[in-house]
Structures are given as structure tokens and as C-alpha cells.
Structure 1
Amino acid sequence: MRMGADRPKQFLPLLGEPVLLHTLRRFAEPTLQVARLVLVLPADQFATWQQLCAEHSVQIPHTVVAGGASRWASVRQGLAELKAHAEGVVAVHDGVRPLTPLTVINNTYTAAAEHGAAIAAVAPKDSVRGLSKDGSYALDRARLRLVQTPQCFELNLLRRAYQLPELPTFTDDASVVEDLHPIRLVEGDYRNLKITTPEDLLLAEALLQAR
């Protein structure tokens, strides 16, 4: 079951604060030394976010830009906000992943600085099967990874990738970049939840309380 809430998932309360604020706070951690924080939201959510920032006295410097009709278009809009920057490493992250360990963020940034492109990923815990017209077949889970975010890239590499036309096969930023550059995998974390269902929110609360 998906989240049957009266507001977008990123604005749902998580221990009294919006999910998105928890996420923003992770990347604002001083040890990461992130130079710019850009939030990409639908234009009709700007007022809600501004109200939440006021309610929770948010002092984290960040820029909010309007997204597009797809993830690809939204990332492109976020990149446009960085036009004044000539170089660097940019991280693309899901706003509904509020528990990403700082070690995962830092390691992914570092790997992208060294190799050009790096993403966080974890090994599947369960057996995995592929589908065919005749039924299904076993896959070797040792050769598979579950992709998370952050996904980090050398800035100009990501710019070049997003100058190409959008394709249906673009499910994340790595799929946009991979024809131009190899993708380095960094060990993710099973606590790096993407909050999609009510159960995810309950688990996120439990994990935060356990810290």
C-alpha cells in the first residue's frame, strides 16, 4: 500500500518535523562541506514548504527551484541553478530519504571526485527472480545491487549527460550518465530508507529514536 496521506510524502511529520527537513539537515552537516543546497519541488508546493520552514524556524541556507514533469526534467532544472559553478561534484538525492548516514554521503562524494560518477547501492537480501513470457527464472543476487541515493557526479559530466534527449530508460541519474562514463558503486546502507509506504515512516521513526 502506498502512502494514503493528505500531503506529499516529503512533508509528512517524522518525529515532529517534515521528512524533507530531516533530509536537508543531513546534507547541511558542516563536516560534509556542501557549498550549495538546491531543493527541487513542484511549483504548487513552494508555499507549503515556506510555511513549514517558518513553523520549524529553518535556518539552513538553501534555494528552491521548480521541478519538471519527470525526474529527469526536475534534475535538469536543479542543474540549471548551478550554472554559476564551473566545476565540482554534485549529489542528487531523494527528498524522502531522511536517514542517509553521513558516511554514505561522504563516501559517495569522495568516490565521484576520484572516478567521476558514483552511486550508493546495497546487495539484495532476498532471492530475486526475473519475469519471462513463460513464467520466471532465478537471478544471481550476488551480481545484483539495489540502487539508493545519493548519486554523485562530476558537475560537467552530469551537465553533458543532461544535454542529451530524455529516454524512457532513464530511471535515475546513473542511467542518464552511464553511456558517457562508468558508474562506481559505493556501499550504501539498509537504513537509507526511501519513505514510500506507512510502514516505511514507522520504521524511520524507530531508527531515529534508536540513535
Structure 2
Amino acid sequence: MSIVDDLAAVYREHAAPGQAAAMRAYMRDQFEFLGIPSPLRRQLSRPFLKGDPLPVALACWELPEREFQYFACDLLARHARTLTPADLPTLRTLITTKPWWDTVDALAANVVGPVVSGDQTPMDAWAADDNLWVVRTAILHQLRYRATTDVERLFAYTRENRHHKDFFIRKGIGWALREYAKTDPAAVRRFVADHPDLSGLSRREALKNIGRDGEQP
């Protein structure tokens, strides 16, 4: 695919092995990096943010360096409104392939969220999935919804997964609640109070920016 080949040529011209080692260590040595910092990477990417996003994203996912997956996330976010629920299986493949919080969170909030904004029903099955990254995506997909958040769905996914043992699910629950608290802090405080069996991590994250009176400080 020429767009990916051309992108790769540009990226590799700007590889910085010293930076790559630090970036790899930050990601617990799970991925290879070229060592391109995010501001430069986005600058280099601008001419390539075009074309059919899903085939390009899939091709980027096959490359070893993580910067290509970051490009794919940016590309998909840019074209998210052109995607449909029929594309969710492909997005799920990306979420569950080379998964870690960096790409999963970007896809959840900036791609899956817009795709299902008209009908969030598919997220009900994702919230009950066996794959923790699919569950995290369901919990986080409304991060950008603000006043249009389906509150019952947000709270339902939290209730369903509040006993989950994984750190990333517990952290995701807290983050989703904290983000909605920017819209309705009193509702989040009530929900947390009504569910004393939330994990300590989820509770702390949810209430981090809420005052004692239930309002944002």
C-alpha cells in the first residue's frame, strides 16, 4: 500500500534510536519504536491523513514500530464519521491486536465512540466480553459525549464490571465516571455512594475532582 510505504519512508528518515529506547522502556518493552516524539510525528503525518482509513490502519498494525499504530489511530479518528457499525468487527480486531492502553483508549474515545453515537447497543455485548480491552473500550467509548452521555449505560457498565480484578478495567471505570462528573458531578457522587463495593482505585479516580458537596471545585 503506497500510502503506508511512503509514510514509513518518512518516519524512518526521522528515527532516533536513543529516543526509541526510552519510549520502549516506558511501554514496558512491549513494542518497538522509531523514537519520533508525538509533535513531530503528527507534523510528518499530515500529508498522509487521507484514503480509506480501515485498510491503511490494518496495514499500519502489521508494522513493528508503535508510531505506525499511533498514525492509524489518528487517521481513524479523523475519518470516524465515515465509519459505520458494520466496521466494528475490524475495529475490534485493532483493539485486540497488539493491545495496550495507548491505542485502545484512542480508539475507544475517538473512533468507536463516534461510530456508535447513533446506536450504542453493540457496546452492551462489548461490556460483557471476555477480552479486557474490549470491555475497557465499552466503558470508555462515551468519554467525549459530555451532556449526551447515556448515563444509564455508563452506570450499567460500571455496575457490571465493578468487581473486575484487572487494573485497566478499574482505572477505566474511574476515568469514565470522572469524565462524566464534569457534566453532572452530583450524579457521580451519588452513584459512588450507592456502590460501596467499587474498587478503591475506581472510587478515587471517580471522585478526584468532586468537592464534598458533590460539585466540581
Higher strand share: 1
**Bigger radius of gyration, 1 or 2?**
2
- With the shorter chain as reference, the TM-score category is under 0.3
Q: Which has the higher contact order (CA 8 A, sep 6+)?
A: 1
Output the TM-score relative to the length of structure 1: 0.24
Greater share of helix residues, 1 or 2?
A: 2
